[in-house]
Structure 1
Amino acid sequence: MSYLLEGILAVTPQQIVMYLIGTFLIWLAVKKQYEPALLLPMGFGAILVNLPLSGVINQNMAGIGETAGIIQWLFETTIEASEALPILLFIGIGAMIDFGPLLTQPVMFLFGAAAQFGIFFAISLATLLGFDLKDAASIGIIGAADGPTSILVSQILHSRYIGAIAVAAYSYMALVPIIQPAAIKLVTTHKERQIRMTYNPREITKQTKILFPILTTIIVGLIAPASVALVGFLMFGNLLRECGVLDNLAKTAQNELANLITILLGITISFSMRADEFVRVDTLLILAIGLVAFIFDTIGGVLFAKVLNLFLRTKINPMIGAAGISAFPMSSRVVQKLATAESNGNIILMQAVGVNVSGQIASVIAGGLVIKLVGQYL
């Protein structure tokens, strides 16, 4: 009987908190359908790694010695040692993205760049609150609303808070429909949100679509070498999509590969959600700073659009600036939904999509620049 009760008696209050957090993430995935492919495995994994004497992490067992746990092995092999999972996921993401709206309106890339302001604001805030530079830089990347980039940056910089950062990044991605409308309305007027925009697409040649990922990889690799793995795999996935001769591989990357990596990434990252490392005051601070970064990224893109309107004869709807975060395609859909709510029949989706895909690239570049700058400083 004592053997059967050993696990129950070993449960700590902190582990109970993690069971509740894991259950909450599963609830968000199932009931609210917020990023279910990621939040569900993360939530279930958070429960698994916090079970006393759990076989999914390395344990010292009496009479047996140390046993290897599958989740810990996956974490140490595919994230800690190589960052393989978040990088491989970008092949699938790249294969899903159509850069046509961005290539039709290259100026939209400026909005993606402007929407990264929250990252650097959050880094400064985290530093002022006592986090060391490596942890502060990792926390700031939450504002990019890009889970794989957040994981990669925090892992490369050896942040102590990779679990909290991953949870915050993916949670705020899932909460885009709730957070972004409030942030947009905070800095815009009803009249501004009613502005209509004309979309006049031009034909993008196949040659241009093929050259774009190649040239982007070269240029970004020279400017921010630390981001070349993410950008390179993102653009490789896009090249599979656009080359026209590898349709089966492109579909595999979009579906089977992306789904498999997403499942493994979600449950693997839960290793860093063990109670002794997660249930801390620092974690709450990280969640708060991440929310600030996310909101300021949204506001930064909107304010950039408002500044441009001071000089433009034909005004642009400043809400498209909010789509400059990396949460593709959720953010562009949120912007369009808000535009319709403000003015029936107002269609600004394609402009928002152009900004949204530019935000995907800009967030990866920002991550590489942060790694480079922190590395040079240290």
Structure 2
Amino acid sequence: MILVSFVLMYLAIVKKFEPLLLLPIAFGMFLANFPLGGVNDLPNETMRFLGTLPEASKNIGSDPTFAAMLQSGEHLVQHINESGIAEIFAEKSNYGGLLYYLGRGVKLGIYPPLIFMGIGAMTDFAPLISNPKSILLGGAAQLGIFCAYIGACMLGFTPQEAGSIGIIGGADGPTALYLTAKLADHLLGPIAVAAYSYMALVPVIQPPIMKALTSKKERQIVMSMGDMRPVSKTEKIIFPIAVTTLVGLILPSTVPLLGMLMLGNLMKESGVVERINKTAQNELMNIVTIFLGVSVGSTATAEAFLNAKTLGILVMGVTAFAFGTAGGVLLGKLMNVISVSMGGKPINPLIGSAGVSAVPMAARVSQVVGQKENPSNFLLMHAMGPNVAGVIGSAIAAGILLSVLG
């Protein structure tokens, strides 16, 4: 496992594969597997019954063992039993290691929503508001999540494990970690490594699929910047409130992620809390990213990582990415046919691949592939609509899986 951590460090530092998270994950893995390091130790709590309240008062004064235990850091815990009689316990805790406590932020679902708030503070939803049809492409790209879920079930994973594996296809690391912590926290290490590794490999995984599913003529379709209507500040402010209200009422389990995403965006677009908006984008985001990466890496012990399940997760993870990309591109082709047949403007199907929520990397891939076919083509802003829609889509998909499987 230490050698695996070295490989991940190499990929983060030399190859620059998602270094902001892959490097802390790799080093957390290194620390957790370091012999006798103790950073990942669990707290060892022991309790000693002292009796009911009158009896306990006698024990406190007469029991030399208890007096010694008090001096060593024990404290009293009072408990009311079913009969209403107060009982006294002496409790002693051996404190856990550093990574155990940092990991509480992952296990309790604290870090991912905070990262979503930072993402929202950095995201411009104007391309999506300008072209609401983009949300369909963002939804279609979530096909990979449910295809991988079915495939993982067929490979023998439990439904909860399969849901955690499937969410890798959303290309959204925080969402994958949030759902996995809720459904199958023993898979946090392998799923984190798979999710962030494949996110880094989006420029490698997506182009062959995009080219295989589209013709040269389709890839050369020009989409003009003039096709995008201006978006007012009022629309930008109303959008996060409206989305949170609508989705939160229909699917309450999405609120922790989607609500924090929209809070961050509202802080950005309102323009009245610039100081905390910058904090959410920078200082807070960076601190939580470090804690999240190191904590997740610390779960990748040999027992949890070096097994057949990890191989299955890696296989199903790349399958999820492939099907997600294909779903977005195929719906883009269909939307182009419908738009042209109805006398509307053509739609380049390549922007559908940006429906996976790797922001803004997937949109850049659409731009690069399109410009190779037609140097005068600029798809980036058109692809950003499906791209940010994919962030919302992956959170909704996670909410559905959590509602059904949680």
Q: What TM-score, normalized by structure 2, do the two folds share?
A: 0.84
Q: Which amino acid aligns with 1:72?
A: Y
In 2, Cα distance between equivalents of 1:56 and 1:100: 45
Identity of aligned residues (%): 48
Match of 1:283 in 2: 310
Q: Does 1:44 align with 2:27?
A: yes
CA shift, 1:25, in A, is 1.4
Unaligned runs of 5+ in 1: 1-17
Q: Which amino acid aligns with 2:220?
A: Q
Match of 1:234 in 2: 261
Match of 1:344 in 2: 375
Match of 1:71 in 2: 99
- Report Cα offsets for 1:86-117 as digits up to 9, x if no partner: 11111100000000111111110110000000
CA shift, 1:203, in A, is 2.4
Is the contact made by 1:135 and 1:160 (CA closer than 8 Å) also made in structure 2?
no
In 2, Cα distance between equivalents of 1:89 and 1:293: 23
In 2, Cα distance between equivalents of 1:67 and 1:58: 8
User: Radius of gyration: which is bigger?
Assistant: 2
Q: Aligned pair count?
A: 353
- Report Cα offsets for 1:188-238 as digits up to 9, x if no partner: 122211111123232222221111111111111112111110000000000
In 2, Cα distance between equivalents of 1:369 and 1:59: 32
In 2, Cα distance between equivalents of 1:54 and 1:220: 45
Q: How does 1:77-116 map to 2 (within 5 A)?
A: 77-80=104-107, 82-116=108-142
Q: Which amino acid aligns with 1:55?
A: G
Q: How does 1:354-373 map to 2 (within 5 A)?
A: 354-373=385-404
In 2, Cα distance between equivalents of 1:309 and 1:240: 35
Q: Which amino acid aligns with 2:306?
A: V
Match of 2:247 in 1: 220
In 1, Cα distance between equivalents of 2:184 and 2:252: 18
CA shift, 1:366, in A, is 0.8
Match of 1:201 in 2: 228
Match of 1:253 in 2: 280
CA shift, 1:315, in A, is 2.3
Q: Which amino acid aligns with 2:99?
A: I
Is the contact made by 1:25 and 1:40 (CA closer than 8 Å) also made in structure 2?
yes
SS of residue matched to 1:160: helix
Is the contact made by 2:268 and 2:274 (CA closer than 8 Å) also made in structure 1?
yes
Task: Decide which moves more: 300-309 or 227-236.
Answer: 300-309
Match of 1:171 in 2: 197
Is the contact made by 1:138 and 1:159 (CA closer than 8 Å) also made in structure 2?
no
CA shift, 1:60, in A, is 9.4
Is the contact made by 2:354 and 2:386 (CA closer than 8 Å) also made in structure 1?
yes
Unaligned runs of 5+ in 2: 45-92
SS of residue matched to 1:32: coil
Once superposed, which parts of structure 1, at least 4 consecutive aligned residues long, lie more than 4 Å away?
A: none
Aligned-pair Cα RMSD in Å: 1.5
Q: Which amino acid aligns with 1:312?
A: S
- Report Cα offsets for 1:293-344 as digits up to 9, x if no partner: 0110001000011122232213211110000001000000111011111111
SS of residue matched to 1:291: helix
Q: Does 1:28 align with 2:11?
A: yes
CA shift, 1:271, in A, is 2.0
In 2, Cα distance between equivalents of 1:340 and 1:57: 48
Equivalent of 1:332 in 343, 363, 385 = 363
Match of 1:3 in 2: none
Match of 1:243 in 2: 270
Is the contact made by 1:58 and 1:66 (CA closer than 8 Å) also made in structure 2?
no
Match of 1:56 in 2: 39
SS of residue matched to 1:310: helix
Q: Normalized per residue, which structure has more strand?
A: 2
